[in-house]
Structure 1
């Protein structure tokens, strides 16, 4: 009998169905979708729980069954916390009837899924997304109530997957919970050596405070000779930031502000780019890093998860914006150095982030429980 695994990712639908790619989604939606497809391809019965975008229930994409739950706007304020949100997700968890439930990102669903698994004698994997998932009171969670529900789930999950040694140490220090470091999964394309790279610098991220998108506009002013493309949409609650920066970008001639682009289309921009930048002050391990590495693009960033970028010579870590500008200008003028760094990243993701390798790591983690 096939082993069953269910992924709880309410924002995943725009990733698994390209027709809905203009809707908001985050990096964890990409990870969950790639993992679900990989598990399905290796013989698991994979399913996924997503919000209602108007789609049919129980659609199947690449072997993954998609159960829909509530609409984002459904229900009355306060009351909708319970109905239809928790009630519809609980019902979908039951319909999926999985052996293992997989949830990522700190939030109430960590606690709800853990409670469901305890009641129905199921197993749960929780994957850390951001370093703050491991720090009491600093989680990217708005309400005290929701933080407590999250912490209940964190303490009652069966396996925790971490992105880095730093996350692993934080989780142990702050919650006394053990975790297993498991790399993220990435699609690795075949590359055309003759591809045209007409974008000097690419930034891809969602608009939220810790991503510091305003730094891209400042960088464009420091590098007027370079073409910079900025891609990303507003995280709910950050619409004002998005509109403000969009308006400011119109006065910067060398900056192209694309706004939100679907996961399936954004990879074309990576292929066209010479360098990829990240302006966040901290994160876990961004999907965008892997997308860049898989396309032989050096990553220029202010933070370096576990020091791997510098250790493997896959990019450059910068101290401040002026340092980033000088680093970019230097690499743009040095084709051979960009090629060397890009090749290092490509080798690294092939060795450590391919689908079969990652599924093996998850299977090993679960067998050691």
Structure 2
């Protein structure tokens, strides 16, 4: 697995703020595969860790650092040279990479030269849009599109991604839903006196944290909690984060926590009555799985395509007024909230357990090896 930015999540490094849903999901999948008997190697960027180590049964190889090399030349060295060296050292049967970017094209090129199957896994609906719009460098967009064409298989998270992949790239995808493992054993439903309305995500425009602030302002009688750090350290990213933090400070019924390490943020689902997702685009939110596993119902403005008994396992709304109305209704109606919680939990058990995800990946891996 080319998991370049996943090391902070895997190692539980609280001093590093590289935390996104894609990294969390890749660690979850890797641990599920290890439990299923698959030997998993992570290729990670250099965050000061040893050149090689083992974490949770996963072999971890270090490659280049985020800022290593001379500007203008670092793409060739150490990025291409370091990545290819680590891939040779991994000596895997199948290679896997998640998230759109240059690494997709580099991985598939190396795999073609060495007769190895390569899997690309989408992390967001944006990965399959024309462009894609979340990759800003022209060279990296070209590498990603080339890699997407050359991948032996493309893993998608939801039915919408299948439609986008077919329409924009003329490829079919293998649907493997995301998974989530509770931190310790089987989780129990949250207590009926849980009253917090929770939002968890990176503070970036596509996640629309401004909608959550507007929701808290429209519902002064409810208690809200917001968890999330800045996605990077560029001036624009930090300025946007500062704007959200400043606006949050004006709302007395909102507790803005900023960045919280994943294992700590996970615990706040135990006290939530509702989870809110305000994103314009997603792949499949890990936060849904954290909530549903605990019988915490969710409200969102986008459709993942998930259905159980022809119903989405969460409250799907179309705009901000509908979001406010749904939240107030659910917080006032315990029976309706519990019905939605049961629906979400049933869908989680059916589709998103680590064992189910591992079985689906095992089938894909066996198919790719048979075709090699």
Task: Assess same fold via TM > 0.5.
Answer: yes
CA distance in 2, matches of 1:218, 1:309: 31
Secondary structure of 1:55's counterpart equals coil
Over 3 Å counting, the alpha-carbon distance change for 1:264 and 1:107 in structure 2 is same
CA distance in 2, matches of 1:139, 1:367: 33
Over 3 Å counting, the alpha-carbon distance change for 1:123 and 1:313 in structure 2 is closer
Alignment correspondent of 2:47: 53
Normalising by structure 2, report the TM-score. 0.93
Contact preservation (8 Å) 2:46, 2:65: yes
Alignment correspondent of 1:272: 271
CA distance in 1, matches of 2:242, 2:325: 29
Alignment correspondent of 2:259: 260
Over 3 Å counting, the alpha-carbon distance change for 1:199 and 1:61 in structure 2 is farther
Alignment correspondent of 1:136: 130
- 1:156 matched to 2:150? The reply is yes
Structure 2: where are the runs of 5+ without partners?
Answer: none
- 1:233 matched to 2:232? The reply is no
Over 3 Å counting, the alpha-carbon distance change for 1:297 and 1:168 in structure 2 is same
Post-superposition shift, 1:365? 2.7
Over 3 Å counting, the alpha-carbon distance change for 1:329 and 1:194 in structure 2 is closer
Match of 1:212 among 208, 215, 227: 208
Matched residues, number: 363
- 1:88 matched to 2:87? The reply is no
Post-superposition shift, 1:53? 1.3
Alignment correspondent of 2:218: 222
CA distance in 2, matches of 1:310, 1:250: 42
Alignment correspondent of 1:3: none
CA distance in 2, matches of 1:192, 1:35: 23
Post-superposition shift, 1:193? 4.7
CA distance in 1, matches of 2:52, 2:58: 9
Post-superposition shift, 1:135? 2.2
RMSD of equivalent CA atoms? 1.8
Contact preservation (8 Å) 1:230, 1:259: yes
CA distance in 2, matches of 1:326, 1:195: 23
Post-superposition shift, 1:283? 1.6
Normalising by structure 1, report the TM-score. 0.93
